[in-house]
Amino acid sequence: MKILYTGLIALYSAIAGVASLFSIKARRWVRGRRGWRERLRSFSRGEGKAVWVHCASLGEFEQGRPVIEKIRKEHPDWKVVITFFSPSGYEVRKDYSGADLVMYLPVDLPGNVDFFLDRVRPDLALIIKYEFWYNYLDELKRRNIPTYLVSGIFRPDHYFFRWYGRFARGVFSVFNRIFVQDEQSGRLLQSIGYGRYLVTGDTRFDRVSQIAAAARDLQVIEQFRGNEPLFVAGSSWDDDEDIIIRYINARSGAMKWVIAPHEIDEAHLGRIEKRLGPGTIRYSRYSEKDSECRVMIIDNIGMLSSVYRYASMAAVGGGFGRGIHNILEPACWGIPVLFGPNHGRFREAIHLIDRGGATSFNDFETFSAAVEKYLSDPDALNAAGRA
């Protein structure tokens, strides 16, 4: 199995190289990994302790950040190494001051694994939420390095709990302890004979609480909003934007609008501007004379969590793809949240819908109905915000 797995990883890496000729994201993924051995050679490991934290992307980093910062506070002499799989995580947090080294995770091939672990020599490894890279985990176990999964969450349809997943379950033996978000995840681990888990909740709640407490004052957003309601579409993808832009074009005067797309390359920003037409301004180009504009496009990464504080309601993207982005960031400001249909893997989304604080939309009609309800009924808007 290990030989087959390693072969598939090598194939994946080769395909990514070809894809980089056509895809910006794949190009970042490939280019970002160039020279990783030199980066590790120049890393001053020292003789103290070191902790390695792996995050798939930006969301997992934010989930792990309270743990990282707690370690930093209690063990300021420890070295902290953070790795990312995805460009959307690395590109935003490559200069994070809470780590001694931030880099892409080298591709999960045995030679890469040995080189990485030989240079970092972690005394502790933390995997945030998921990402089971088998060669890394197998070598961590062989070297007797304590390894923990933080904020893990599992569902009955996960391949580990299907008949064809029994060969993959051995990965759990690597972890000294798995900290899970909910009781269901614990029961699923028990069902396959794993008992070294603890239900500790979701560290994203800790993180959004910190974000809300430290949110920046954004005078540009406040000036743009004026005395009108503001709708913020955060981390939007094309499918979300198709619906939201159609509504804006039909009802631009209903309120002010901010769109913060997940991808901010020039081609994508240009497409949004073209579809919205006059009355649209980018954040980086805004000045007082643009206060009459109806739509602002956020053309940077890192300020969205503070933008939400100015909103009357928000939509979070990703629900027409693999899954929604962080809905807790707007929810912590006491505003109703909308998102697409692919949210079943996110327990906070299900709970928020059950409590009346969120609405899922499938198309233009259901999106319009939700927004119109909140616009026409202040009591409904306030009740959803309180929920």
* 296-343: pLDDT as tens digits: 999 998 899 999 999 999 999 999 998 999 999 999 999 999 999 999
Answer whether 324's CB lies under 8 Å from 340's CB: yes
DSSP-H helix ranges across 75-168: 87-93, 110-120, 134-142
Q: Are residues 180 and 326 in the same domain?
A: no
Q: Are residues 95 and 235 in the same domain?
A: no
* Residue 186 token pair: 């614990």
Can you give the pLDDT at residue 314?
A: 98
H helix and E strand count, the chain: 17, 14
Of 211, 237, 271, the one marking the end of a domain is 211
Q: Are residues 174 and 236 in the same domain?
A: no
Can you give the pLDDT at residue 84?
A: 96
Q: Are residues 69 and 207 in the same domain?
A: yes
Per-residue model confidence as pLDDT tens digits over 227-275: 999 999 999 999 999 999 999 999 989 999 999 999 999 999 999 999 9
Can you give the pLDDT at residue 197?
A: 96
Answer whether 312's CB lies under 8 Å from 289's CB: no
What is the CATH number for 252?
Answer: 3.40.50.2000
Q: Are residues 252 and 373 in the same domain?
A: yes
- Total count of domains within the chain: 2
pTM of the model as a whole:
0.77
Of 178, 211, 244, the one marking the end of a domain is 211
Answer whether 122's CB lies under 8 Å from 51's CB: yes
Q: Are residues 127 and 258 in the same domain?
A: no
Residue 58: pLDDT band with limits 50, 70, 90: confident
- Quote the domain boundaries for residue 222: 218-386
Can you give the pLDDT at residue 163?
A: 81
Q: Are residues 95 and 228 in the same domain?
A: no
Q: How far is CA 24 from CA 192, 238, 244, in A?
A: 41, 16, 25
* Residue 156 token pair: 């009955």
- Helix axes 110-120 and 134-142, enclosed angle (nearest 10): 50
DSSP-H helix ranges across the chain: 2-19, 24-32, 36-41, 58-74, 87-93, 110-120, 134-142, 183-191, 203-213, 219-225, 238-251, 266-276, 304-307, 328-331, 347-354, 364-376, 378-386
Q: Are residues 202 and 238 in the same domain?
A: no
Per-residue burial over 326-355, b = 16 or more CB atoms within 10 Å of its CB, e = otherwise: bbbbbbbbebbbbbbebbeebbbbeebbee
Per-residue model confidence as pLDDT tens digits over 144-155: 999 999 999 998
Q: Are residues 29 and 128 in the same domain?
A: yes
Q: Are residues 202 and 231 in the same domain?
A: no
Q: Are residues 256 and 367 in the same domain?
A: yes
CA atoms of 282 and 268, how far apart (whole Å): 13
Q: Are residues 206 and 224 in the same domain?
A: no
Residue 140 has pLDDT above 80, yes or no: yes
Residue owning tokens 């206060």? 291
CA atoms of 377 and 92, how far apart (whole Å): 38
